[in-house]
Each structure stands twice: as structure tokens, then as C-alpha cells.
Amino acid sequence: MAPPPPAKKKYLGMTGGVLTAVIIAVVLVCCVGTIAVCAFSGVFNRVFETAAGGAPTTEITSCTIDQGTVLGSARIEYKITNHGSAAKSYVVELEVTNSSGAKVGSISDYVPTVNPGATASADVLVILERPGGKDCKIASIT
């Protein structure tokens, strides 16, 4: 009579096949879920921004470029208006460009809570990466 086959080893109370299936499921949920959240977060932001009344408007009120130092600097004053129905904070990316439109300096500025219908004013100092700054512009608002 042949001896009985050895018992299958169990890990965490599961056999190898079940444990493998659980690990694959966890990895899929973690990876695919994270990718889906990242991919759709922009869509959700646009949907809720539109529902809240639309995108903010910005305007540069002053752009003073100083070429007096080695690289130069620019003081930019701007305002941002919240056209939504909910208070919101913003990150504004500002750029300084040369006469051909190439970026010679940039900075990100955080604007804390702007109430619905309100306008906030801000100013930043940009140290230029290269000399030759001519214009200031708002590159993006998030």
C-alpha cells in the first residue's frame, strides 16, 4: 500500500493557489486603483469647478523687471478672481520671458482661500535664470 501524499502547506490558512490569487487581487486593486484616481482626478476637478461656477480669472497688474544684478529679477503683481460658488485656494505659475518668448525665469505662488466672487491680490519676486527678461505672464492656475 502506498503512503498517503504529503499534506499541502498552508500560508495564513490558505493553500498556495488561493494565496497567489489574493496577492494578485491586492496588487491589481492598489496599482489600478491608484492609476485610475490619478487619471480621473483632472476630470473630477473640471466637473466640480464647472459646477461651482467656472474657472478663475487672473490679471497681471504690474511687471517690473530689474536688469541691475547679474541675472536680473522681476517683481510681478497680479490679481485672481474666484468666479465659483465655493471658496478656493490656488497655485499660480508665473513666468518671465525674453524678447523672443523663451522663459528666463518662473515661480509658483500659493494664493490662500479666495471666497466666491472675491478678488485676491498678490505679488512675487522672480530671480531670473538668464538675463534678458522682457515680459511677464501667467502660465497656469490650479
Asked if residue 67 and residue 44 are part of one domain, the reply reads: no
- Specify if 41 maps to a domain: yes
81 in Cβ contact with 56 (< 8 Å): yes
pLDDT digits (tens, 9 = 90+) for 109-140: 999 999 999 999 999 999 999 888 999 999 99
The C-alpha atoms of residue 76 and residue 137 are separated, in whole angstroms, by 9
pLDDT digits (tens, 9 = 90+) for 86-95: 999 999 999 9
- Specify if 71 maps to a domain: yes
pLDDT of 25 above 80: no
Asked if residue 75 and residue 37 are part of one domain, the reply reads: no
Place of cell 487672473: 58
Domain assignment of residue 39, given as a range = 13-51
Asked if residue 35 and residue 103 are part of one domain, the reply reads: no
The C-alpha atoms of residue 42 and residue 57 are separated, in whole angstroms, by 19
Overall pTM > 0.75: no
Asked if residue 25 and residue 65 are part of one domain, the reply reads: no
- Specify if 116 maps to a domain: yes
Asked if residue 77 and residue 31 are part of one domain, the reply reads: no
